[in-house]
Amino acid sequence: MTSVVISGTGLYHPSQIITNAELVESFNRYVELYNARHADEIAAGTREALQPSSVEFIEKASGIQRRYVMDKSGVLDPERMVPRLAPRRDDELSLMAEIGVAAARAALAQAGKEGKDVDAVLCGASNMQRAYPAIAVEIQQALGAGGYGFDMNVACSTATFALEQAVNAVRAGSARCVLVVNPEITSGHQEWRDRDCHFIFGDACTAIIVERADTATAAEQWDVLGTKLATQFSNNIRNNFGFLNRCEDTPADARDKTFRQEGRKVFKEVVPMAAAHIENHLSTLKIEPTQVRRYWLHQANQAMNQFVIRKLIGADPASDVAPLILDEFANTSSAGSIIAFHAHRADLSTGDLGMICSFGAGYSIGSVILRKR
């Protein structure tokens, strides 16, 4: 069977940062304005007053300290609470393609490859900026890649699900070198006006090169030993934005048209699912969870990852077993586990085992077992 490796990764993040203190200050200003605007209804008991947010809650509940965003001023404007992004003409590179190309170029450089060496582009994110043509095809053209490209969406698990498609394509011989790109502009569909989730997300894009081992020339390569995907339907993380909205005569800015979740239920249900999935996957290769040198887990919540690791290895994890990047990036949906892999693998040695594992909306869980060459 054809051996397949990951030979490069790339990361793009915007330059603008919002700290928790800045976020909470603007959110609380929004709350004051909202409550003042609706003071009569609130006094009459026909409308609920909004409650303020707090930095202490955010840091304790999630571990998030700050996030990168495409546009800070629009998000922090209490009269707007949405990023301000300039529209682009059809003959200009679209925003998702632009950040995708930036991350892809970094991954190609690490892999020692050029755009023309790529013969499949898989682009996925929790929300795509348009229906068609696929962003993947636009990236393919911008890089001068050949073959084919398509977009896909499995929310937070899009990158791991794309990795399995990439690995299968290379194994089957339908592609030799696949680029997986995950441009997550979460700030566009985050609900910045809801204190339950206004702190959760940040923007970033990752890229991964998957290729045949016999064509790989990168100094650092990772054998893909196996991939495993699973889904189980749940409404606990949901966004009803879609092309039928305009036919349904519901308000475009209704609460259900942006991200919403039952965070506590997600936490309780997904932790055991993720731990069992990881254990099952490892057991198919006769690997004990304690033999895995590093877990690059989905980055949604610090305590969630600690629970998963505690269930797997039965003890408080040493700090470098499952590194966190969400303090700096917040939850970047499908990019999160790949950012962890990108940033925290240089210290591993030849033969070391690692696992990328994502979990999120769907529910969806995807894992990829790797060994350093």
Full strand arrangement of the beta sheet holding 120-124: 148-152, 120-124, 177-184, 204-212, 4-12, 222-231, 364-372, 353-360, 294-297
Hey, what's the torsion of the CAs at 34, 40, 42, 45, to 10 degrees?
A: -160
Q: Got the DSSP string for 189-203?
A: TS-TT-TTTTTSB--
Residue whose CB is nearest to ligand CO8 in the complex, by number: 360
Burial of 114-128, coded b for 16+ CB within 10 Å and e otherwise, reads ebebbbbbbbbbbbb
Asked if 201 contacts 259 with a C-beta cutoff of 8 angstroms, the reply is: yes
Which of 123, 156, 205, 357 is catalytic? The answer is: 156
**Bridge partners of residue 12, in order along the sequence:** 205
Quick note: the x/- pattern for ligand CO8 over 2-41, rule CB under 6 A, is: ----------------------------------------
Residues 6+ apart with CB under 8 A from 293: 321, 348, 352, 353, 354
Q: How far is the CB of 179 from ligand CO8 (least distance, A)?
A: 22
Q: How far is the CB of 27 from ligand CO8 (least distance, A)?
A: 8
Question: Of the candidates 13, 66, 176, 195, which one interacts with ligand CO8 according to CB under 6 A?
Answer: 195
Asked if 5 contacts 224 with a C-beta cutoff of 8 angstroms, the reply is: yes
Burial of 326-343, coded b for 16+ CB within 10 Å and e otherwise, reads bebbbbbbbbbbbbbbbe
Q: Does 331 bind ligand CO8 (CB under 6 A)?
A: yes
**Bridge partners of residue 297, in order along the sequence:** 357
Q: From CA 110, how far away is CA 209, in angstroms rounded?
A: 9
Q: Using CB under 6 A, which residues numbered 286 to 315 contact ligand CO8?
A: 300-301, 304
Asked if 59 contacts 6 with a C-beta cutoff of 8 angstroms, the reply is: no
User: How many chain residues touch ligand CO8 (CB under 6 A)?
Assistant: 30
Question: Measured from the CB atom, is 222 or 259 closer to ligand CO8?
Answer: 259
Q: How far is the CB of 217 from ligand CO8 (least distance, A)?
A: 35
Q: Does 261 bind ligand CO8 (CB under 6 A)?
A: yes
Question: Measured from the CB atom, is 160 or 190 closer to ligand CO8?
Answer: 190
Residue matched to tokens 């190609």? 108
Question: Measured from the CB atom, is 227 or 236 closer to ligand CO8?
Answer: 236
Q: Using CB under 6 A, which residues numbered 56 to 115 contact ligand CO8?
A: 57-58, 61-62
Q: How far is the CB of 6 from ligand CO8 (least distance, A)?
A: 23
Q: Using CB under 6 A, which residues numbered 344 to 363 contact ligand CO8?
A: 360-361
Q: Does 186 bind ligand CO8 (CB under 6 A)?
A: yes
Q: From CA 108, how far away is CA 94, in angstroms rounded?
A: 20
**156 catalytic per annotation:** yes
Region near ligand CO8 per CB under 6 A, out of 36-44, 50-58, 224-232, 346-354: 50-58
Question: Measured from the CB atom, is 196 or 256 closer to ligand CO8?
Answer: 196
Q: Does 190 bind ligand CO8 (CB under 6 A)?
A: yes
Q: Does 189 bind ligand CO8 (CB under 6 A)?
A: yes
Residue matched to tokens 């006006």? 193
Asked if 367 contacts 227 with a C-beta cutoff of 8 angstroms, the reply is: yes
Question: Of the candidates 182, 227, 305, 333, which one interacts with ligand CO8 according to CB under 6 A?
Answer: 333
Q: From CA 337, how far away is CA 326, in angstroms rounded?
A: 10
Q: Using CB under 6 A, which residues numbered 142 to 161 contact ligand CO8?
A: 155-156
Gyration radius of the chain's alpha carbons: 21
Question: Of the candidates 259, 296, 329, 341, which one interacts with ligand CO8 according to CB under 6 A?
Answer: 259
Q: Which residues are catalytic?
A: 156
Binding site for ligand CO8 (CB under 6 A): 53-54, 57-58, 61-62, 126, 155-156, 186, 189-190, 195-196, 199, 201, 237, 259, 261, 263-264, 266-267, 300-301, 304, 331, 333, 360-361
